[in-house]
Chain A
Amino acid sequence: MSKILTVNGSRYPLDSEKTLLENLESQAINIEFHCRDGHCGACRCQLVSGHVNYTSYPMAYIRENDILTCCSKSTGDIKINTY
């Protein structure tokens, strides 16, 4: 069974090979991005539940419970909210 990505309450299938940003884009969810490299912070989202692994060092400031979607992947069910 594929994992579930919940964004602002809506559920989508999650591709754990892709970054969260790519997942959001493939579901046509409107999300901000600039650098796609973890240093600008434009793609910051709130993590409600679940866990992410960063593919590269997230340089932008992330508060507790915030994630950068451009450089993170998830292997399990995950819930996030966009800002």
Chain B
Amino acid sequence: MAYTTFSTLSNDAMKEPMFFGNPVNVARYDQQKFEVFEKLIEKQLSFFWRPEEIDVSRDRIDFMNLPDHEQHIFISNLKYQTLLDSIQGRSPNMALLPIVSLPELETWIETWAFSETIHSRSYTHILRNLFTDPSEVFEDIVNNEEIQKRAIDISGYYDTLIHSVQYMQLHGLDNQDAIEYINLDGEKEVLTLRSIKKKLYLCICSTNALEAIRFYVSFACSFAFAERDLLEGNAKIIKLIARDEALHLTSTQQILNIWADGKDDPEMAEIALECFAEGRAIFLQAAEQEKEWAQYLFKDGSMIGLNEQILCQYVEYISNQRMIAIGYEAPFPVSTNPIPWINHWLVSDNVQVAPQEAEISSYLVGQINSKVDSEDLSSFEL
């Protein structure tokens, strides 16, 4: 089954499964099989923002005054987030668009990936402000061992899916005696539609874990700095990013739950059951990696209000919440939020603050916003 950019088959999109049905032809949004994806598109569009709207010029001073170990925490988090959004800016498109069958879901995936590219652009915005030449930071992302460990784990599921789908779309699945499928490990593998669907399921599990917990260690650190009135420009950007990520997470939770509850492709419901343990393992692995990341962040010392222990507890706490949301038992004993103040940074309608408050982003498009001291007005006479 080759991919076509416009299938002339007159199909009813309301009867297609989310993935592996007929390719989408008419991009129509007057009717939806799953209304939630249409709502997500609208919400994401209404959230649109640009990094340049946020003034980060004062962050440079704050950053320069940080002790070395706090600079390490700040920069490492930015590097990790740059990696995550580099992957998320392209992978949903590459992996999911060739196999999606619903117009609203197709557009949601595009909208989702686009918003991730805005996040990537905002990291450049932040780093360009902190360093005259940010190349060293960007170059370390592919060399840093700690980041690499995570990168391989995240991109692996995408790559496996993309590779098998490409084979299927090029050769079809009925011709495997003549053209063998050699998977990414260099081994011969017999592909079936079901085995590719399984790869899709695991890929969404991994993406869900990424959106659910991987970002939150960095978020917590950024907000902890801002609670001390440090690096507030950065925190404003991270707040907008966190708001977007909550939407992305909702979409992956929706997909997983729709499958598991048998509201879509019945074969996916079977696979959800079959891969239940594997899905949990993916989640627990991500939680473990994030705890290791916290250890790496605080290797030279903690920051005020946050240390490795608290951050690890938060990883466990948020993992519990996220796993319950997709039908798993809470795996960790933590039952209360160790850093309850973070919730106030995650409120979405709080993002627009009253304009009289300093540095409100919507009034700063293309403006210079520096501190005005009352001294500056001392020569004023009325």
Q: Which 6 pairs of residues, A with B, have the shortest CB-CB distance?
A: A34-B346, A35-B348, A40-B246, A61-B257, A37-B348, A61-B254
Q: A44–B247 Cα gap in the complex (Å)?
A: 15
Which chain A residue lies CB-closest to B255? A61
From A40, which residue of chain B is reached at the shortest CB distance?
B246
Known: A35-B348, A40-B346. A60 touches B321 (CB 8 A): no
A51 at the interface (CB under 8 A from B): no
Residues of B within 8 A of A30 (CB): 336
Whether the pair B253, A61 counts as a contact (CB closer than 8 A) is yes
For the complex, is B15 an interface residue (Cβ under 8 Å from A)?
no
- Residue B50 at the chain A interface, CB threshold 8 Å: no
Interface residue range, chain B: 20 to 34
* Minimum distance in angstroms from A34 CB to a CB of chain B: 4
Q: Which residues of B contact A (CB under 8 A)?
A: 36, 39-40, 43, 243, 246-247, 249-250, 253-254, 257-258, 261, 321, 324-325, 336-337, 343, 346-350
The answer to whether B36 and A59 touch across the interface, beta carbons within 8 angstroms, is yes
Q: Is the CB of A39 within 8 A of B247?
A: yes
Contacts of B39 in A (CB 8 A): 57, 59
Residue interface bits A6-41, CB-to-B below 8 A is 1, else 0: 000000000000000000000000101111110111
Q: Is the CB of A33 within 8 A of B43?
A: no
Q: Could you tell me the distance in whole angstroms from the C-beta of B52 to the nearest C-beta in chain A?
A: 25
Residues in B with CB closer than 8 Å to A41 are: 250, 253, 325
Q: Is A36 a contact partner of B348 (Cβ separation < 8 A)? A: yes
Q: List 11 A-B contacts (CB under 8 A).
A: A32-B337, A33-B347, A35-B246, A37-B349, A39-B247, A40-B249, A41-B250, A44-B325, A59-B36, A59-B40, A63-B257
CB distance from B18 to the nearest CB of A (A): 14
A residues at B contact (CB < 8 Å): 30, 32-37, 39-42, 44, 57, 59-61, 63, 83
New A-B contacts (8) at CB < 8 Å, excluding given A30-B336, A59-B250: A33-B343, A35-B347, A36-B350, A37-B349, A40-B246, A41-B325, A59-B39, A59-B40
Do A60 and B343 have beta carbons less than 8 Å apart? no
CB <8 Å contact, B349 and A40: no
Chain A residues with CB under 8 A of B337: 32
* Shortest distance from the beta carbon of A8 to any chain B beta carbon, whole Å: 13
Does the CB pair A42–B321 fall under 8 Å? Answer: yes
Contact yes or no, A39 B348, CB < 8 A: yes
> Are A61 and B321 within 8 A (Cβ)?
no
Residue of A nearest to B327 (CB): A63
Q: B43 contacts which of A42, A44, A59 (Cβ < 8 Å)?
A: A59
> Contact partner of A35 among B254, B321, B346, CB < 8 A?
B346
Specify the chain B residue showing the minimal Cβ separation from A44. Answer: B325
Which residue of B250, B258, B343 is within 8 Å of A39 (Cβ)?
B250
What are the residues of chain B within 8 A of A57 when measuring CB–CB? Answer: 39
Task: Name the residue on B nearest A61 (C-beta).
Answer: B257
Known: A30-B336, A59-B40, A61-B254. A36 touches B247 (CB 8 A): no
Q: How far is the CB of A1 from chain B (nearest CB, A)?
A: 33
Q: How long is the Cα–Cα vector from A35 to B337 in the complex, in angstroms? A: 16
Among A32, A40, A60, max chain B CB count under 10 A is at: A40
A30 to B335, CA, bound (A): 11
**Residues of A close to B325: CB separation below 8 A:** 41, 44, 60-61
A60: chain B residues within 8 A (beta carbon): 250, 253-254, 325
Contact A34 B347 (CB under 8 A): yes
Query: In the complex, A41→B249 CA distance in Å?
Result: 10
In the assembled complex, which residues on chain B have CB atoms less than 8 Å from the CB atom of A33? 343, 347
Contact B43 A39 (CB under 8 A): yes
